[in-house]
């Protein structure tokens, strides 16, 4: 049986609920089957802001093992959204009996997941430095670097010079480091860090973007690639644990 930790990592919506009816559905567009159950949510442990008000609401769960639950029974469900209509239908990754400490267990697992994501991003980084950003300006591409492509999904590279305080990973000897970032607000790039003059923190620099495409020079591209100074000790601990 998977642990709460593993289930939390796999699930986007985790809640405690009481089973009201097996073989039923709250969504007219998602017919009831032997695998569906209607449950009433009593507590939400993890989920997006858009589902935060679902406590007290009825939800249809597509169960992995319907026979394991009975009407009137409560459980903690680890799920992903499947069908969002008049009613919400989720598919469970798994469920476990309710526990008083479930909230803290899920929070702990979610934090571990967050740490794991940052650890992976640190492992992929070619260079990690701390420092403060200078005023950004548009990056002028090297004319010999190859043809430029015009697309609404163009990252529109800008450059900022970081006054380096420390090198946390990789090799860099200068007092400053030029870093690129996607200035574009296009759907493909709006979540990337947008560097502003005076931003101080840890910079995770990569030679490839989040889509695994090469970039002209060291760049921050993923939302996790800039960590504020307050996260430095955490970054250092994760770097150490990831080695």
Partner 1 sequence: MKITVVNMIPKSMSGETNQDSEPNLAVNPNNPLQIAATAFTPNPTGGAFAPIFISSDGGLTWALNAIVPGAVAGASTADITTKFGGTSNVLYGGIMRADNLDLNVLRTSNYASATPMTILETRGSEDQPWVQATTATGVSGSPDRVYIGNNDFNTAPKTATIDQSLNAATGAAPSGFGPITIASRTPSAAPAFAQGQNAPSIRPVIHPSGKIYAAYFNWTAFSLANMVTADVVVCRDDNWGSGGTPYTSLLDPAPPVGDGSAGVRVVRSTSIPWENSNFLGQERVGSHLSIAVDPNNSSRVFLAWADFPGGKAPYTIHLRSSVDGGATWSGDLRTVANGICPALAIDAIGNVGFLYQTLTGGGSTWETHIEISGNGFTSAPTPIVLATVPSGTPVATFLPYLGDYIYLTAIGETFYGVFSANNTPNMAHFPNGVTYLRNANFTTQTLLNVDNKTPVAVSIDPFFFSIAETVFPPIRPITVQPIKVIEPIKVIEPIRSIEPIKTVGPVQPVVPVEPIEPAKPLKPK
* 8 Å CB contact between 59 and 88: yes
Each residue 199-238 as x (binds partner 1 by CB under 8 A) or -, in order, gives: ------------xxx-------------------------
Is 82 a residue that touches partner 1 (CB under 8 A)?
yes
Contacts of 177 (CB under 8 A, 6+ apart): 127, 129, 131, 161, 162, 164, 203, 205, 218
Is 113 a residue that touches partner 1 (CB under 8 A)?
no
We find the least distance from the C-beta atom of residue 135 to partner 1, in angstroms, to be 19
User: b or e along 118-145 (b: 16 or more beta carbons within 10 Å of the residue's beta carbon)?
Assistant: bbebbeebebbbbbbbbebeebeeeeee
Among 2, 85, 170, 228, binds partner 1 (CB under 8 A): 85
Is 149 a residue that touches partner 1 (CB under 8 A)?
yes
Each residue 50-79 as x (binds partner 1 by CB under 8 A) or -, in order, gives: xxxxx-xx----x----------------x
> Which span (96-104, 130-138, 141-149, 227-235) binds partner 1, by CB under 8 A?
141-149
On the CB side of 68, how many CA atoms lie within 13 Å of its CA? 14
> Which span (44-52, 67-75, 103-111, 194-202) binds partner 1, by CB under 8 A?
44-52
Among 5, 40, 43, 83, binds partner 1 (CB under 8 A): 83
> Which span (23-31, 131-139, 169-177, 227-235) binds partner 1, by CB under 8 A?
23-31
Each residue 151-170 as x (binds partner 1 by CB under 8 A) or -, in order, gives: xxxx-x--------------
Rounded distance between C-alpha atoms, residue 51 and residue 41, angstroms = 11
- Integer angstrom CA distances of residue 213 from 143, 216, 232: 19, 10, 28
State which residue, 171 or 187, has the beta carbon closest to partner 1: 187
* 8 Å CB contact between 41 and 15: yes
Give the 3-state secondary structure of residue 127.
strand
Distance of CA 227 to the CA centre of its chain: 14
Q: How many CB atoms lie within 10 A of CB 52?
A: 9
Give the 3-state secondary structure of residue 210.
coil
Q: Rg of the Cα trace of the chain?
A: 23
State which residue, 101 or 151, has the beta carbon closest to partner 1: 151
Is 6 a residue that touches partner 1 (CB under 8 A)?
no
> Which span (17-25, 174-182, 184-192, 198-206) binds partner 1, by CB under 8 A?
184-192
The footprint of partner 1 (CB under 8 A) covers: 11-13, 27-30, 47-54, 56-57, 62, 79-88, 90-91, 143, 146-154, 156, 184-188, 190-191, 211-213
């Amino acid at each position: 049986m998977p642990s709460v930790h593993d289930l939390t990592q796999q699930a986007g919506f985790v809640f405690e609920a009481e089973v009201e009816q097996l073989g039923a559905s709250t969504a007219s567009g998602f017919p009831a089957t032997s695998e569906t159950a209607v449950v009433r949510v009593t507590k939400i442990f993890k989920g997006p802001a858009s589902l935060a008000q679902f406590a007290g609401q009825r939800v249809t769960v597509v169960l992995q093992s319907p026979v394991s639950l009975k009407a009137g029974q409560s459980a903690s469900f680890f799920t992903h959204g499947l069908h969002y209509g008049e009613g919400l239908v989720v598919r469970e990754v798994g469920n476990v009996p309710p526990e008083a400490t479930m909230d803290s267990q899920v929070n702990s697992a979610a934090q571990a997941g967050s740490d794991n994501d940052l650890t992976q991003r640190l492992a992929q980084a070619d260079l990690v430095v701390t420092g403060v950003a200078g005023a950004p300006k548009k990056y002028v591409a090297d004319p010999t670097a190859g043809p430029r492509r015009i697309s609404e999904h163009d990252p529109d590279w800008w450059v900022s010079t970081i006054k380096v305080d420390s090198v946390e990973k990789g090799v860099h000897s200068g007092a400053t480091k030029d870093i690129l970032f996607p200035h574009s607000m296009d759907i493909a790039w709006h979540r990337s860090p947008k560097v502003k003059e005076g931003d101080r923190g840890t910079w995770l620099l990569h030679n490839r973007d989040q889509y695994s495409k090469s970039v002209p020079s060291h760049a921050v591209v993923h939302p996790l690639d800039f960590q504020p100074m307050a996260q430095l000790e955490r970054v250092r601990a994760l770097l150490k644990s990831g080695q």
